[in-house]
Structure formats: structure tokens, C-alpha cells
Homo-oligomer: A and B are copies of this chain.
Amino acid sequence: MTYHVEGVQIIGTKVTHGKGESIHYVNPATGESLEPIFNGSTLEDVETACKLADSAFDIYRETSPEQRAAFLEAIATGIEAVSGSLIERAALESGLPTARLTGECARTCAQLRHFSQALKTGEWLGVRLATAQPDRQPLPGPDLRQRQVPLGPVAVFGASNFPLAFSVAGGDTASALAAGCPVVVKAHSAHPGASEIVGMEVQKACSEHDIPEGVFSLLYDAGFDVGQALVADPRISAVGFTGSRRGGLALMAIAQNRPVPIPVYAEMSSINPVFLLPHALTSRTEKIAQGFVGSLTMGAGQFCTNPGLVIAVGGEALEHFCTLSKQLIIDAPAQTMLTPGIHKAYVAGVDRLAGNDRAKSIAAGQPGKALGSCQAHLFRTTADAFLDDQSLQDEVFGAASIIVECRDHDQMLEVTRSLEGQLTVTLHMDDDDLDVAKSLVPVLERKAGRILVDGWPTGVEVSDPMVHGGPFPATSDARTTSVGSAAIARFLRPVCYQSFPSALLPTELRDDNPRRLSRLVDGARVAAD
């Protein structure tokens, strides 16, 4: 199915051209402005979208999990039907290669189906029951039943680096819709056309599945006014955001200063340290170097989980690793970055490192001919220097990384303790590295949401146990994940029903357990059947 981009916003069932300032968006590979014109939404549009979302909330949250699951699956099917137009458009707007976007499109649809599946299992409802104890002394014990209920309308900010998987129908939207929350999306202004295509599919799924008007709206913003007004709107109950630390902190401040503060789930910055333990580094130098440079340069390094820091004890094996990595980096072709702004920030970040006496540039990749090309960069420093200069931990978003040479394992531990919060940390280890790994893991657990062994942090699996989150500044809230079914919990809160007559109880709390849920009953887990 071919989709022709019109430059429209979606507010409930209304598809219109925005009346705000027009958005400047370009083909990042050529710098040319793109068509059609997208205008930003107005503050009245924010008001209308939030009002509709609020009106729809009570109806939407009463839909059955099966209905919401079918709705999410319909979105996935719809996106698949327009995937040709969508990928083409996203490639034009983002500079990302078609192969990558084909994968991201499949991931986006698989993610919607993952949440659909999670909805049906009902784990997210967190049902806990306590039987009444009428004869208990000195006082009778009441009948108590707990379930999770949705928070309310959620504001979702599209991410620049995943125009599909973390944007209009990405993880934040999918998990909020699964939870029973209406969503108002603020599209990322770098890929408005791809946002429209996906948005129209979400809207179509709404109408085909009798989802009330207002459960989904899609707004645009030429600057920051629309996004800020959205977070400040009293009907918005939570915020999902993936982007820069500055952007995340700004949204957190708005959310905290509202008359009624709300949670912000901002995924912000991470340099994803990789530890090369001595035996693994010696026995698999080449394989690790290849894996490292592959993970670092993939997609111009524009992943939140890009390996921006490598930590190892100095010696022959590390020198060999550096030599191999250097050559691989030199050969690495350049790739167009997502936006001129991201490219500019990358160049500035690399220049900052190059101008820092504490770091030494050891390799630069192919410079690339297209505008906004990301030339890969590899730096080296010592643990002493790294410990002296906190700025070496600043994320350089793109294909740049620093190798930190430690004197010994004690210093490696010291470097580990000095790290800021991260999304991921990775250990490359052989069996003989087990003792060193055991000394590191307790420190790493305090630093990151995910710890990998012998893998690479890019390529975040959409799965129940996934944690795509981590201590500040990796995210604004380490208690959650933005990928995988546990992400639903971000948009829920518990309610306890005390001494309710059966006729008034929510279905999933009834004695006869019609939803066949696994439940915690009087302190013990009771299976569905």
C-alpha cells in the first residue's frame, strides 16, 4: 500500500493541517528541505487533544485486555501494510539505511505484538488477595484485593534515533496503550512524515476497534512550546521521553513544578562501558575487536546503548586489541547522521576529546562524502586521567569511544565505582576471568540496568526480562524499563478494594477468577487453573 504524506496532525478523529509555525526538516544526507510542509500544532490543539484523551480514559481503561491486545495487533498489521512507504519516507528523513529501517519496522511491529501478548497473560495486573478473617482477635481482618489501574493520559515524545521503534507507535506508546492509558504523541520534528504515516495507521486501528476518540492524538512542534504545554497539561498523568539529557531534565523540571507533579520516564544518556577481562582479551582479541567496532559504528553509533567506553588492564593483549580496533576504525565507512544538529554535536564532542590532553586520538574512520557524515573516532586514555576528569564520561552521541587503560584490577574497580549511571555494562570474560567478574558485578549492579556477558549492548531485545533503564543520568527513574513487557508498569498504580461485594468487584479480582490469572492469595502464589 502506498501512502502519500500530507503534512497533517491527528487530534482524535480529526486530521488537519497544523496552524503553528512551520517545521524545518531536511534530508540529512543532502541538507535539502523536504516536502510537504508540516506546521506545528497550536496550544489550542494541545488543549483539545488532552481534553479528548481525558474523556476517553474511563472508557478505554474499561476495555478488556483482549480488546486492547487486538487493537495493538491491528496497529502492527496496519504498519506492515504501509511498510514500503514508511521505510522509504523514514530513510529520506533520517538518513538511516533501508536495511536498518526494515529491521526497525519489524521490531516496532513485534514490539506491539509483545505487549499484546503480555496483556493477555495478565501479569501486569499484579493481583493480590487477602481473605477476610471475621474471627481474628483482637480485630477481624477485612477482605482486601489489589490490582493495578492505569494512571491516565500519557504524553509520548518521539525519539530522533528510532523514527519507528521509539516514536509514534514505539515502546512508550505501546506500553501506555497496553496499560489502558490514552496517548498524546509529540512527533519528533526530524521525521514528521514517517510520524504521520504511523499515526494514520494508529488512528485507523482505533476506528476499526471501537477505541474511543482521544485515545490517540499526534501533535507537531516547530520549537518547544507544544511539548512543554503537553507536559504541563493537568490531564496528562505521565511522560515518556527518549532523547538528550538536557531535554529530559527540562521535562522533569516542568513535571515536578506542576500543581500535581507527574512521573517522567526520560531515557537520556549512557556511555555503556565494556570491560575486557584479561583471559578473554588474550584468547579472543580479534573477535572482541571486531565485535566492538561493529557495535560502535553500526547506525553511525546513534544508539542509546552504543559502547562509548572500553575498560581493560594494560598489557600486550590490550595493545593488540588497540592495534586491531584502530585498523577496523580506519576502514569503517562513514554514515549519514540523523540530523544536522546531531552531526554538529558529534563533531563538537569529538573535537572536545581531541583537544583534551588527557585523551589521545588513536584512529579516525572514513570521512564520508555526504553532508552530516559520521566519521568514527577512537580515543585512549589512562585510568588515572579518567579518574581525574569527569568530562571524559560525557556522552558523545555517535560512533566515538574511549579505551581506558587500568594499571590493575584494583584500579579497574576504582574506575567502575567512579562511573555515572548507565543503561548497560558489558563483560567479556573467559572461565578464568570468573573471580574478577565476581568482584565487578556487585559494583555494576549499582551502575546499570542491564549487564551483558560476551555480547554487545546494541540490539536491545524486546522481552519480559529486558531492562532498558538504569540509574540517573541514564534515565530519570531507575525503577523501570522502557523496553519489554515490564514497561507497562510505568503507567500503572495499585488500588486496594476493601470488603467489596462481589457484584462491585473488578472482574480480575473476583473469587471465581474468570480471567484465569496467576494471583497472590494470602501470601502464596496460586496458579490460574
Contact in complex: B145, A465 (CB < 8 Å) = yes
Partner of A467, one of B103, B466, B495: B495
B434 and A504 contacting across the interface, CB-CB below 8 Å:
yes
Residues from chain B with a CB closer than 8 A to the CB of A144 are 461, 463-466
By beta carbon, the residue of chain B nearest A57 is: B446
B463 and A130 contacting across the interface, CB-CB below 8 Å: yes
The answer, among B461, B469, B497, B525, for a CB contact under 8 Å with A123, is B525
One of B130, B260, B434 near A472 (C-beta < 8 A): B260
Q: Enumerate chain B residues within 8 angstroms of A31, measured Cβ to Cβ.
A: none
Residue of B123, B464, B499 near A453 (CB, 8 A) is B499
A67-95 vs B, Cβ < 8 Å mask (1 yes, 0 no): 00000000000000000000000000000
Task: Judge whether A317 is part of the interface by a CB distance below 8 angstroms.
Answer: no
Q: Any chain B CB within 8 A of the CB of A349?
A: no
- Tallying the copies of this chain within the complex gives 2
A476 contacts the other chain (CB 8 A): yes
Name the distance in Å between A270's Cβ and chain B's nearest Cβ. Answer: 14
Smallest Cβ distance from A307 to chain B, in angstroms?
14
CB distance from A106 to the nearest CB of B (A): 8
Please, how many angstroms separate the alpha-carbon atoms of A152 and B447 in the complex?
11
Give every chain B residue within 8 A of A103 (Cβ-Cβ): 138
Give which listed residue, B471, B473, B523, B527, contacts A121 with CB less than 8 A.
Answer: B523
List, in ascending order, chain B residues with CB within 8 A of A129's CB. Answer: 464-465
A sample of 22 inter-chain contacts (CB < 8 A) reads: A117-B523, A118-B523, A123-B520, A129-B465, A130-B461, A141-B461, A146-B466, A252-B256, A256-B256, A448-B495, A449-B494, A449-B496, A450-B497, A451-B495, A452-B498, A454-B499, A455-B499, A465-B496, A467-B495, A469-B494, A478-B493, A479-B493
10 A-B pairs with least C-beta separation: A146-B465, A467-B496, A518-B525, A144-B465, A128-B465, A452-B498, A450-B496, A130-B463, A478-B493, A128-B464
Name A residues whose Cβ lies closer than 8 Å to a Cβ of B.
Answer: 58, 62, 103, 117-118, 121, 123, 128-130, 138-139, 141-142, 144-146, 149, 151-152, 252, 256, 260-261, 263, 421, 429, 431, 434, 437-438, 441-442, 445-446, 448-455, 459, 461, 463-467, 469, 471-473, 476-481, 485-486, 492-501, 503-504, 518, 520, 522-525, 527-528
